[in-house]
Amino acid sequence: MFQRVCAAVFLFTSTILASAQAPSAPGKPLPPGPTQAKVKAACTSCHNTSRITGQHLTRKQWSDQLDKMEGLGAVIPDADRNAFLNYLTKNFGPGKGAAKDAAKPAAKKSGSAAD
């Protein structure tokens, strides 16, 4: 019984650690802007920039993310919060992701009559 519990705890812990994103892993560079350095400093202490660049959220959603990250220990000064939201929404808002996705050509389906 004890060995099964230990094995389960080991497996669970290993899975959690393996899925965690290393902050030192390279990510996509953040776009230039007056708040870039502060966003990078606050956000990359726990994860790489791909966590930011891969999302395209509304201002409200970014605000919720900042709240969540502050709850996990990120330091976002109240005086900088609006600037953070402006930077994130401008560079990683919903329109940014949609524009990139719309520009991509549709993938061909193999085996169709058009092939």
pLDDT tens-place string over residues 23-56: 545 678 999 999 999 999 999 988 899 999 999 9
Name every residue whose Cβ is closer than 8 Å to that of residue 109 and which is 6 or more positions away in sequence.
Answer: 115
Q: Which amino acid appears at position 82 of this protein? A: N
Q: What is the pLDDT of residues 61-77, one digit of tens each?
A: 999 999 999 999 999 99
Q: Which of 35-39, 76-80, 96-100, 103-107 has the lowest mean pLDDT?
A: 103-107
Residue 100 confidence (pLDDT) above 60: no
CA–CA separation, 15 vs 9, rounded Å? 10
Torsion of CA 88, 94, 96, 99, to 10 degrees: 180
Distance from the first to the final alpha carbon of the chain: 58
pTM of the model: 0.64
